Amino acid sequence: MKGLLRLAGGIDRISTFFGWISAWLVLLACLVSAGNAVSRYLFSLSSNAWLEIQWQMFSGIFLLGAANVFRLNEHVRVDLFYGNAPQRRKLWIDLLGIPLFLIPSVLVIGFFALEFFMTSFTSGEHSSNAGGLMLWPVKFLLPFGLMLLFLQGIAEWIKRLAALRGLTDEVVEYERPLQ
């Protein structure tokens, strides 16, 4: 089990790294948005590329940050059975829910997302807007983000199992700040 917990720790570090990138993309998207507004209103200069890079960064924020949000247990969930449940029941719900719901969903969506990306990549897809950007890099974020979420699901499952066995109490600290 120690080896699995080390694996979970390694996955946590990967998710944290991409969560850090995601957090910086928020700032960068704000700066690009402000820069675009200033150049448009003060100098009458604008480009579709400035607008497109903003939604591409938003995609990065969401898709690269999702695994870290899951790691921090800050994701949206239906609290019907979970919210007021005792800690042990929460662990069991997660231990069953991850392989029954999260993993299959991520694998199915990931299968189609990979095809979506590959079609765009092999065709060298570009935006149809004048001055637009290539589209395949942002489409790559979808299968990549899902892969990160899959890996974090494995890590969370390992940590829940270890907590149920009394080997760690790390997962009971549900409210941790972004590191």
- Is residue 27 domain-resident? yes
| pLDDT tens-digit series, residues 13-36 | 999 999 999 999 999 999 999 988
DSSP string spanning 21-46? HHHHHHHHHHHHHHHHHHHHHHH---
pLDDT higher than 60, residue 92? yes
Higher local confidence (pLDDT), 88 or 85: 88
Mean pLDDT of 52-58: 89
How far apart, in Å, do the first and last CA atoms of the chain sit?
A: 25
Structural domain harbouring 59? 2-172
Least confident segment among 15-24, 64-73, 88-97, 99-108: 88-97
- Is residue 72 domain-resident? yes
Higher local confidence (pLDDT), 128 or 69: 69
Q: What was the pLDDT predicted at 42?
A: 85
Q: What was the pLDDT predicted at 178?
A: 44
Q: What was the pLDDT predicted at 156?
A: 94
- Is residue 177 domain-resident? no
Identity of residue 170: E
Mean pLDDT of the chain: 87
Q: What was the pLDDT predicted at 103?
A: 96
Mean pLDDT of 49-61: 89
CB 2 within 8 Å of CB 166:
no
Q: How many residues does the chain have?
A: 179
Q: What was the pLDDT predicted at 55?
A: 87
- Is residue 179 domain-resident? no
- Is residue 98 domain-resident? yes
- The percentage of the chain sitting over the pLDDT mark of 90, rounded to a whole number, equals 53
pTM score of the predicted model: 0.83
The radius of gyration computed from the CA coordinates of the chain, to the nearest angstrom, equals 20
- Is residue 51 domain-resident? yes
pLDDT higher than 60, residue 171? no
How many domains does the chain divide into?
1
